[in-house]
Structure 1
Amino acid sequence: MEYIQVTKENLEKEHICCAISNNKDVQVSSKKAWLLERFDDGLVFLKSVERGKCFIEYLPAENAWNPIEADDYMYIDCLWVSGAFKGHGYSTDLLEACITDSKAKGKKGLCILAAAKKKPFLADPKYLTYKGFKVADEADNGIQLWYLPFSDDDKCPKFKACAKHPHIDKSGYILYYTSQCPFNAKYVPILAETAQQEGIPFEAIQITDKKTAQSVPTPITTYALFYNGDYVTNEQMNAKKFLKLVSKVEG
């Protein structure tokens, strides 16, 4: 497999390999606009030269859009290999490239979000364990910060206090989200419209800057849904899934 690094210079022409084939889709343009502003923060986007879901996205942890304390670590936003690309060792290729790059940049290790059991849009804990990652910290909602130190004396990363106990003082459904995940550009408006049609109290709060992202009351900032103050899920939903969740939560 050959890989290519997406940069400011080739971003416009490159496919960013999520489950969206059209480069002009609003979801793609939203994600690319987000990426464009992150490159100056040290973000690296490495992907297969072939179209498909085979890529890794990472940046220095101090610039991550998550409330974590991980000085001199590299934070992996996303490592996604699926579909026809699974089972060929490409995840290992991408992770090894990240490790090599991170060591060359003087980083102490890597960190990434996961959970004790696999959750949608989060890293697989079994894979992380196999690769030597360990749990560094865990929030009340079960979201964990995993890390791979490059030496035994490296300081363990942790969540900021605001993320350890995910809770907000707002009623109804409150969604925190960013443009890091391309799907939000399509599905957040769908949820807002569905909620309005059904008379469901709903507010979408878009996080648009790093400072805010690093102080939100949830470890996950790409998509975090709360109901009456309590964290519910990080899974992006269409209208049908949202209504099913509402029925379950309020039933």
Structure 2
Amino acid sequence: MGDKPVFKQVTLENLETEHICCCISDKKGENCVPSKKSWLRGRMQEGLVFNKLDVRGKVFIEYIPAEFAWAPIKADGYMYIDCLWVSGQYKGKGYGDQLLDQCIDDSRAKGKKGLVCLSSKKKMPFLADPGYLKHRGFKVADTASPYYELFYLPFSDPGTVPAIKDVARNGCVDEKGLILYYSDQCPHTSKYVPLLAGNLKELGLECRFRKLETKEDAQSAPVPFTTYALFYNGKFITNEILSEKSFAKIWERIRNM
């Protein structure tokens, strides 16, 4: 029998020194870890919980009262799961179930109506796995173009079902050209957004960057996933945080839209 897994909560008291899972380290000139920790610091004052396996790996859950979620949803009284991530050597060992069970117990103890989590019609990068959510009893509460699904797990008769706000339903904006909405909710934006800006400049392309600085900004955004959302000529393109190579592939596909 192996040792019993040890879980640890990252709090305001240990945030500065604790490893935050989705960032192993900052390379010179990057701001990934500080930007994410600054974002977490503000959210922890609003009730965000960051619980993880006590390892230097991606095994964690991050959740917050839905009223403070950085997402254009209506889910008063629920707890919103920002991210549940188990990767690499830690997959298949039940850690995801244990993290979710701890979230459920904590949310019940805090008097929440249930959980909500943003996902998609099929498994996609940076979004919760819809197959896993269904396996755990989550149901689809609402949908938004082109592929978003808002899942919920009520603890009792929910009454009003959580919903995506109308502003984020259609997957479009009233602007031409490239538009990128993003936030510091994911540390990778601090690395890849500047790289994308530099890449676009080299290609002679312009992009309007819209950084979401507050929950009010995020809750009125034109897309359910506010960590990263690229639009072109008014249409939503992707929620995937793009490298230079991945942008080049997408650009070949959309440039004549």
TM range (shorter): over 0.9
Measured after TM superposition, the shift of residue 156 of structure 1 is 0.9
Q: Is the 8 A contact 2:26 2:32 kept in 1?
A: no
Matches for 1:23-34 after TM superposition, within 5 Å: 26-34=31-39
Unmatched tracts of structure 2, length 5 or more: none
* Equivalent residues of 2:71, 2:218 under 8 A apart: yes
Distance 1:104 1:152 in 2: 17
Shift of 1:23: 9.0
SS in 1 for 2:80: strand
SS of 1:41 mapped into structure 2? coil
Q: Which residue does 2:212 correspond to in 1?
A: 207
Residue 10, structure 1, aligned to residue 14, structure 2 = yes
Q: How far apart are the structure 2 equivalents of 1:127 and 1:154?
A: 25
Between 181-190 and 18-27, the greater mean CA deviation after superposition? 18-27
Contact preservation (8 Å) 1:108, 1:154? no
Provide the C-alpha distance between the structure 2 equivalents of 1:28 and 1:113, rounded to a whole number of angstroms.
24
Structure 2: distance between partners of 1:2 and 1:22: 25
Alignment-derived partner of residue 94 in structure 2: 89
Q: Which residue of 1 aligns with 2:128?
A: 123
Distance 2:75 2:64 in 1: 12
Identity %: 54
Amino acid at match of 1:78: C
Residues 7-51 of structure 1, C-alpha deviation per residue, up to 9 Å, x if partnerless?
111000000001533498510111001001111110000011111
Equivalence map 1:48-197=2 (5 Å): 48-197=53-202
The size of the alignment, in residue pairs, is 251
- Backbone CA RMSD of aligned residues: 1.3
Shift of 1:201: 2.3
- 2:255 maps to 1:242: no
Deviation at 1:78, TM superposition (A): 0.2
1:224 maps to which residue? 229
The structure 1 segments of at least 4 consecutive aligned residues displaced by more than 6 Å after TM superposition are none
Q: C-alpha distance in 1, partners of 2:243/2:64?
A: 29
Structure 1 residue 152: deviation in Å?
Answer: 2.8
What is the deviation of 1:142?
1.3
For 1:76 and 1:183, locate their aligned partners in 2 and report how far apart those are by CA, in whole Å. Answer: 18
Task: State the TM-score, normalizing by the size of structure 2.
Answer: 0.95
